[in-house]
Amino acid sequence: MSDGAVVRALVLEAPRRLVVRQYRLPRIGDDDALVRVEACGLCGTDHEQYTGELAGGFAFVPGHETVGTIAAIGPRAEQRWGVSAGDRVAVEVFQSCRQCANCRGGEYRRCVRHGLADMYGFIPVDREPGLWGGYAEYQYLAPDSMVLRVAGDLSPEVATLFNPLGAGIRWGVTIPETKPGDVVAVLGPGIRGLCAAAAAKGAGAVGVEVGTP
């Protein structure tokens, strides 16, 4: 698709007001990219944004569990991320400077440059080019984006589980330091709770109990 082509995106203008808007595709430079969206997961956070329970930042394109194909990419971004045009990727919600101590330690949400202010699916559309979320035909990737290569034979719907599965591994294994033989209790049977249970089981837990607080 050529620069300047018109594409559609869902924009949350206010609580419970989700509308279709049109945007022009930006010209891609040396350090950024454009993803043609194949699927985007529906997170509990998206629902909270829609209802207004999680307020702020209107209007914006929701969606932070994006899987798609690289439609255009600059040469430096290609080298930095290790992907090329035509590759399938999953887009991380956070952006990372890759330089501060927090980013180097994997704590991307505490990035000195970006923190929580530049999460995909939360950035207002009045910041160019507006296509900052996965509920769109195309999503723009800024220079500090993080992407994960996705196998071509994996369905995009299944691939969107990369985000809750990542949270499940962190909460069910990494933080509690789950080891073979442990018994693990997971409070909350939502998608991330179930992913935490699966991760704990995969780490060798002999018993995993899931319930409500």
Domain membership of residue 148 (yes or no) is yes
Please give the pLDDT value at position 85. Answer: 97
Q: What is the DSSP string of 84-137?
A: -TT-EEEE-SS---S-SHHHHTT-GGG-TTTTTTT-TTTSBTTSTT---SSSBS
Does an H or E element contain 140, and which?
A: strand 138-141
Q: Is 166 found in the same domain as 151?
A: no
Q: Is 150 found in the same domain as 187?
A: no
Q: Is 175 found in the same domain as 120?
A: no
Please give the pLDDT value at position 2. Answer: 65
Q: Is 170 found in the same domain as 103?
A: no
Rg (CA), the chain: 18
Q: What is the DSSP string of 145-186?
A: --EEE--TTS-HHHHTTHHHHHHHHIIIIITTT--TT-EEEE
Q: Is 117 found in the same domain as 199?
A: no
Domain limits for position 66 = 6-155
Q: Is 166 found in the same domain as 149?
A: no
Q: Is 132 found in the same domain as 87?
A: yes
pLDDT at 212 over 90: no
Please give the pLDDT value at position 51. Answer: 92
Please give the pLDDT value at position 169. Answer: 94
Domain membership of residue 96 (yes or no) is yes
pLDDT in tens, 62-94: 999 999 999 999 999 999 999 999 999 999 999
Q: Is 177 found in the same domain as 147?
A: no
Count of domains in the chain?
Answer: 2
Please give the pLDDT value at position 54. Answer: 86
Q: Is 18 found in the same domain as 85?
A: yes
Domain membership of residue 1 (yes or no) is no
Please give the pLDDT value at position 1. Answer: 61
Q: Which of 135, 155, 175 is the last residue of a domain?
A: 155
pLDDT in tens, 86-118: 999 999 999 999 999 999 998 999 999 999 989
Q: Is 118 found in the same domain as 145?
A: yes
Q: Is 169 found in the same domain as 148?
A: no
pTM: 0.89
Q: Is 123 found in the same domain as 101?
A: yes
